[in-house]
A and B are shown apart, each in its own frame.
Chain A
């Protein structure tokens, strides 16, 4: 600790250069925090998947629909406890940037399938009674200031109405659900499938995918295989998968997030390695006489090496703390999208480890050079 003032003063010897280097590292760690945070949020979503639930999609593609009639057949498969379904409505509220995760469902069947979604019984009954009714998540309601009784117009990018060809659909909010275990799930919008099915211009009698609750999680593979076998060689072959697999494949519609994030971060850190490394080398080159004086005063080769490495660690860790700190401040703003209210601790820890590694890699060559300085030659300017 007693060397900290010396390290700090050495770091700020060339203020402008240090500020620019610091800012470049801050920017890199801000990016690291945000991208790794997004990655962690996606992985967490998959990790929260229920092991008792399977998702049955079309074997051709996740975007292909399945006939409603399959539901009863799936329900009859040995080991199946309950079945519900979902469809992708693809809508926004007022402006395309206000994307809404919206799904037509059968009210009681849906909330029975997802017991973690908490909806008061009177509101569920109102949802069942009101054909134009909708239930929204608490976070979504808060975001747009919606309350029960409000009429909400949604514009679907897929579905048109058969009565007027319009893509605009109106709903009345009759309930607001919460998900205490995962507030990230409180950004969805559910409305009555029956009314939707009658009103849509095409695709009647079909749903997007089925959700199947099984009696024994250990039998998931067998039950899934039995469901797929049931529809093998039909016009609507299925592919049953665990909820986690489904969510991962759903997220991969956006691309392999982990792959993209990793490649971006590698590119950023390689660039940073060269930038910081060259700054540290230049900084030590300029201070050769000063380092020689320290050695003259009795600082050993090892201590001089440690001081230069310490300076590099101080710069990188300080910058990483600032970058990750800004990411942590920005992260709550993405709560609605990612479902995470704060930057995960493992991302912060990973960032700090990366900062120390960066510091050691960029600091080692100049530190070794400082260690091997010959005092007489350095003082003589040779």
Chain B
């Protein structure tokens, strides 16, 4: 297996006030390039914490995290920020678009950290919006878009810099079933046709069926891996 994500004996502890809570306990995990993994588990099982470690938003208390061959668990804040810009595309449950920017400007945001010219940034943003089927909504602001459209813009933003890995935290948690299926179909297309590696947190078994593998977390431990034999389409 050509692993793009490797976690070895990862623990994560948080200190809140005088209390220290260990959220993840000795996680060992490998995710292959081109995989579409659904992280499943009940609330408080540590799904989002694990996703944050994979996405370089947080660092483990112990253990190592390597993504695309680079150890990220000991990078400084500024190097980790650069690394995220180069390797990770994020999709959030509540889209987290900038309300004052148009869809196109939102999609362009990650490209501001590159050396692309303004016209190249614009072209790339338009192309990303076309991939998610929203080329005609480029001039619209988030409050002029439906939930599904806003999430598509967020996916376009995650894709635009051609990241190594797409990290999605409950991407359909705020959407109705039919719109959620559209978004999951889109992610599936990105995985199958564009070869994007995707790690998605979800508590929705139907959403997890769109992934190629399901990882089950409970009380901070990986308790099982399931290969989805026939993924939803």
User: Which residues of A line the B interface, CB within 8 A?
Assistant: 2-3, 5-6, 9-10, 12-13, 289-290, 293-303, 375-376, 379
Pairwise interchain contact A3-B112, C-beta atoms closer than 8 A: yes
Determine chain B's interface SS by DSSP, over half rule: helix
**Which of A3, A12, A297, A302 lies in contact with B100, CB distance below 8 A?**
A12
Residue from A10, A295, A375 having most chain B Cβ neighbours under 10 A: A375
Residue from A2, A9, A289, A297 having most chain B Cβ neighbours under 10 A: A297
Pairwise interchain contact A10-B85, C-beta atoms closer than 8 A: no
| Nearest chain A residue, comparing its CB with the CB of B116 | A2
A3-B112, A9-B105, A302-B78 known; A293 vs B99 contact (CB < 8 Å): no
On chain B, the residues within 8 Å of A294 by CB distance are: 109
Interface size class of B (residues with CB under 8 A): 20 to 34
B118 within 8 A of partner (CB):
yes
> What is the bound-complex CA distance between A220 and B100, given in angstroms?
68
On chain A, the residues within 8 Å of B58 by CB distance are: 375-376
B145 within 8 A of partner (CB):
no
A297-B85, A376-B58 known; A290 vs B98 contact (CB < 8 Å): yes
A297-B110, A300-B78, A300-B82 known; A9 vs B57 contact (CB < 8 Å): no
Residue from B57, B82, B88 having most chain A Cβ neighbours under 10 A: B57
Q: How many whole Å from A160's CB to the nearest CB in chain B?
A: 71
Q: How many whole Å from A3's CB to the nearest CB in chain B?
A: 6
Pairwise interchain contact A296-B101, C-beta atoms closer than 8 A: no
Pairwise interchain contact A9-B52, C-beta atoms closer than 8 A: no
Pairwise interchain contact A296-B84, C-beta atoms closer than 8 A: yes
Pairwise interchain contact B82-A296, C-beta atoms closer than 8 A: no
Determine chain A's interface SS by DSSP, over half rule: helix
Pairwise interchain contact B105-A5, C-beta atoms closer than 8 A: yes
Pairwise interchain contact B101-A299, C-beta atoms closer than 8 A: no
Known: A6-B98, A6-B101. 14 other contacts (CB 8 A): A6-B109, A6-B112, A9-B98, A293-B98, A296-B55, A297-B113, A297-B157, A298-B82, A298-B86, A298-B110, A300-B77, A300-B81, A302-B78, A379-B57
On chain A, the residues within 8 Å of B110 by CB distance are: 297-298
Could you list 23 A-B pairs, sorted by A, with CB under 8 Å?
A: A2-B118, A6-B98, A6-B101, A6-B112, A9-B100, A9-B105, A10-B100, A12-B100, A289-B96, A290-B98, A295-B81, A296-B55, A297-B84, A297-B113, A298-B81, A298-B85, A298-B88, A299-B81, A300-B78, A300-B81, A301-B78, A302-B78, A376-B52
B210 within 8 A of partner (CB):
no
> What is the bound-complex CA distance between A2 and B115, given in angstroms?
10
Pairwise interchain contact A298-B105, C-beta atoms closer than 8 A: no
B36 within 8 A of partner (CB):
no
Q: How many whole Å from A1's CB to the nearest CB in chain B?
A: 9
Q: How many whole Å from B163's CB to the nearest CB in chain A?
A: 10
For residues 84 through 140 of chain B, which have their beta carbon under 8 Å from a beta carbon of chain A? 84-86, 88, 90, 92, 96, 98-101, 105, 109-110, 112-113, 118, 121
Pairwise interchain contact A297-B118, C-beta atoms closer than 8 A: no
| Nearest chain A residue, comparing its CB with the CB of B158 | A297
Pairwise interchain contact B81-A293, C-beta atoms closer than 8 A: no
> What is the bound-complex CA distance between A311 and B160, given in angstroms?
26
On chain B, the residues within 8 Å of A290 by CB distance are: 96, 98-99
On chain A, the residues within 8 Å of B113 by CB distance are: 297-299
**Which of B90, B112, B118 lies in contact with A296, CB distance below 8 A?**
B90
> What is the bound-complex CA distance between A290 and B96, given in angstroms?
7
For residues 41 through 93 of chain B, which have their beta carbon under 8 Å from a beta carbon of chain A? 52, 55, 57-58, 77-78, 81-86, 88, 90, 92
Q: How many whole Å from A293's CB to the nearest CB in chain B?
A: 5
Pairwise interchain contact B118-A301, C-beta atoms closer than 8 A: no
On chain B, the residues within 8 Å of A379 by CB distance are: 57, 92, 96
Pairwise interchain contact A293-B96, C-beta atoms closer than 8 A: yes
Residue from A12, A296, A303, A375 having most chain B Cβ neighbours under 10 A: A296
| Nearest chain A residue, comparing its CB with the CB of B82 | A298
**Which of A3, A297, A301, A376 lies in contact with B77, CB distance below 8 A?**
A301
On chain B, the residues within 8 Å of A293 by CB distance are: 92, 96, 98
A375-B57, A376-B57 known; A297 vs B101 contact (CB < 8 Å): no
Pairwise interchain contact A13-B57, C-beta atoms closer than 8 A: no
Q: How many whole Å from A286's CB to the nearest CB in chain B?
A: 11
> What is the bound-complex CA distance between A13 and B141, given in angstroms?
12
| Nearest chain B residue, comparing its CB with the CB of A375 | B57
On chain A, the residues within 8 Å of B99 by CB distance are: 13, 290
> What is the bound-complex CA distance between A375 and B96, given in angstroms?
13
> What is the bound-complex CA distance between A301 and B101, given in angstroms?
21
On chain A, the residues within 8 Å of B85 by CB distance are: 297-299
Pairwise interchain contact B57-A296, C-beta atoms closer than 8 A: yes
On chain A, the residues within 8 Å of B88 by CB distance are: 298
> What is the bound-complex CA distance between A13 and B143, given in angstroms?
13
Q: How many whole Å from B114's CB to the nearest CB in chain A?
A: 10
> What is the bound-complex CA distance between A379 and B110, given in angstroms?
18
> What is the bound-complex CA distance between A9 and B86, given in angstroms?
25
Pairwise interchain contact B57-A297, C-beta atoms closer than 8 A: no
On chain A, the residues within 8 Å of B81 by CB distance are: 295, 298-301, 303
> What is the bound-complex CA distance between A365 and B115, given in angstroms?
30
| Nearest chain A residue, comparing its CB with the CB of B77 | A301
